């Protein structure tokens, strides 16, 4: 029997362990999995905290159902009947600009009518059709791409808020290829974004005529999906289905090669031997673990930076909020000078997020463009959020419920050069037989990305075991 150590008990580690056990069993391989998590709880940044009738998501609040991987995991866990999907109101997303909330346009006519972008900015966007695609293979930043194809106003009011909302990132440093590979592909394949939209619209029209189901183009792709009792149901259910050993409360400090595999030294001094190791931890933690195996790999991993974030949950009696909460929430361009990146109207998105007669708002503060916010006192954080909500939504009342969650290393930043770093990491780890890596620092930060990367890692692990038989080759 082959022992496989999976390091990291977030969604990436849990889904990797589950996928390995399932695949190994289907192919007649006997494996023993050991999942190791440094915290006393499993789930990583997925943590649904229930207090005083409110449900606060410590980290992500769901996943989009336009990709199959997380839905397939739910089906394998037999929890698909507990899913909660946001309704059409959640498609109403807003940008705060020029002292006003503007609904994001969902189609051409609504974009023309919207006053989010000036007519000058709209004409500049229209010129995108005639701009030739970039011919070189430069790893362009999102800001460079936005200015080149769409103009400065679209960058400020559309691209930058989206980057801060998804990555808490700075478009001046983030890589287009790594953050939004589909947008890069559209330019390369069709010559531009407007050309791609027109050609894809023709394809969809033809598919409708042929009687094929076609997804709506309005809003973001897919429907935001979670569970009635919070997204933690996903990680809890995955952990419950694992067949192997789970060790919490002591993380891995060092990994050493040994005959036939690896030796893992834990923070409490315990040692675990394993023929195969899969890591699903933040890049900076992995760097410390592998520094004895490869200084080069450790240095590459340390080059992956993280943005800090404060997550601020406010609960109110519904009657104290006069602003319409029929929607998803809003993002704020940096030039507006607000303290927060945006606010989600969580109790409008999913059920069971606030007690009857109450609402919950969840604001994000910090990110790569305001890293100092992580050092603010709770009092200052609350005051700044209240000031922004007063300005944007006209909320004068103090919240009845306040919770502030701090993430010193919230979201990995896919800055320019990320793709080259990944290639170097894959080449370096390939020289360590039986050592595999996954996690949101590398192949995508969303839940769907993490589950997909976990499935790929599991396939690699099982393929490795099949090639090497029941006795994996020596790694000395």
Phi, psi of 160 (to 5 degrees): -60, -45
> How many structural domains compose the chain?
3
- All residue ranges of the chain with pLDDT < 50 are 213-220, 471-476
CATH number at residue 180: 1.10.3110.10
Helix or strand holding residue 56 (H, E):
strand 54-57
pLDDT tens readout for residues 252-305: 999 999 999 999 999 999 999 999 999 999 999 999 999 999 999 999 999 999
In a domain, 81, yes or no: yes
**Are residue 299 and residue 424 in the same domain, yes or no?**
yes
Max intra-chain CA distance, the chain: 68
Tell me, yes or no, whether 376 and 340 share the same domain.
yes
Are residues 383 and 264 part of one domain? Answer: no
Residue 53 is assigned to a structural domain of this protein: no
- Is residue 339 domain-shared with residue 370, that is, in the same domain? yes
- Is residue 299 domain-shared with residue 353, that is, in the same domain? no
**Domain containing residue 334: CATH number:** 3.90.660.20
pTM for this model (two decimals): 0.92
Check whether residue 310 and residue 260 sit in a common domain. Answer: no
Which pLDDT does position 216 carry in this prediction?
Answer: 41
Distance of CA 223 to the CA centre of its chain: 15
- Domain extent at residue 313: 62-89+306-412
**Would you tell me how many other CB atoms lie within 10 Å of the CB of residue 78?**
10
Could you report the per-residue pLDDT of 20-52, keeping only the tens digit for each? 999 999 999 999 999 999 999 999 999 999 999
Long-range CB contacts (within 8 A, 24+) of 262-268:
262/5, 262/434, 262/435, 262/475, 264/5, 264/7, 264/36, 266/36, 267/38
Residue at 95 is within a domain = no
Domain match, 244 and 152 both: no
Q: Is 288 found in the same domain as 192?
A: no
Neighbours of 188 (CB within 10 A): 13
| Mean of pLDDT over the chain | 94
pLDDT in tens, 174-223: 999 999 999 999 999 999 999 999 998 888 777 677 765 444 433 446 89
Same domain, 197 and 130: yes
Domain match, 403 and 420 both: no
User: 379 and 259 share a domain?
Assistant: no
């Amino acid at each position: 029997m082959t022992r496989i150590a999976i390091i990291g008990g977030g969604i990436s580690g849990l889904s990797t362990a589950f996928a390995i056990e399932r695949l190994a069993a289907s192919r007649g391989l006997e494996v023993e999995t050991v999942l190791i998590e440094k915290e006393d709880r499993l789930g990583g940044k997925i943590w649904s905290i229930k207090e005083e009738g409110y449900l606060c998501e410590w980290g992500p609040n769901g996943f989009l159902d336009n990709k199959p991987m997380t839905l397939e995991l739910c089906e394998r866990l037999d929890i698909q009947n507990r899913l909660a999907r946001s309704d059409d109101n959640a498609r109403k997303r807003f940008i705060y600009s020029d002292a006003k909330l503007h609904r994001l346009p969902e189609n051409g006519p609504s974009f023309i009518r919207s006053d989010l972008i000036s007519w000058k900015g709209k004409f500049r966007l229209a010129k995108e059709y005639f701009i030739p695609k970039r011919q070189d293979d430069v790893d362009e930043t999102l800001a460079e791409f936005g200015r080149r194809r769409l103009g400065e106003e679209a960058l400020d009011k559309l691209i930058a808020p989206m980057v801060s909302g998804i990555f808490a990132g700075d478009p001046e440093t983030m890589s287009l290829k790594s953050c939004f590979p589909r947008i890069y592909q559209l330019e390369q394949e069709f010559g531009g974004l407007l050309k791609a939209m027109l050609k894809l619209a023709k394809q969809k029209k033809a598919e409708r005529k042929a009687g094929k189901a076609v997804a709506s183009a309005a809003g973001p792709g897919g429907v935001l999906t979670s569970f009635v009792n919070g997204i933690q149901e996903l990680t809890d259910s995955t952990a419950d289905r694992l067949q192997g050993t789970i060790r919490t409360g002591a993380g891995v400090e060092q990994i050493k090669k040994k005959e036939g595999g690896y030796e893992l030294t834990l923070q409490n001094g315990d040692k675990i031997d394993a023929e195969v190791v899969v890591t699903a931890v933040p890049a900076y933690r992995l760097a410390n673990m592998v520094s004895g195996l490869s200084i080069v790999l450790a240095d590459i991993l340390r080059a992956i930076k993280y943005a800090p974030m404060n997550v601020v949950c406010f609960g109110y009696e519904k009657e104290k909020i006069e602003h319409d909460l029929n929607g998803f929430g809003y993002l704020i361009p940096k030039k507006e000078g607000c303290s927060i990146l945006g606010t989600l109207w969580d109790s409008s998105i999913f059920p069971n997020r606030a007690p009857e007669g109450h609402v919950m708002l969840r604001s994000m503060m910090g990110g790569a463009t305001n890293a100092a916010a992580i050092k603010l006192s709770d009092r200052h954080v609350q005051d700044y959020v209240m000031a922004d909500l007063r300005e944007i939504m006209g909320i004068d009342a103090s919240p009845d419920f306040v919770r502030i969650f701090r993430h010193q290393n919230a979201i990995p930043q896919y800055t320019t050069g990320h793709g080259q770093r990944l290639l170097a990491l894959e080449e370096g780890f390939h020289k360590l037989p039986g050592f595999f890596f996954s996690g949101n620092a590398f192949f995508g930060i969303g839940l769907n990305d993490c589950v997909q990367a976990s499935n790929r890692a599991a396939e690699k692990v099982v393929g490795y075991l099949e090639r090497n038989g029941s006795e994996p080759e020596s790694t000395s």
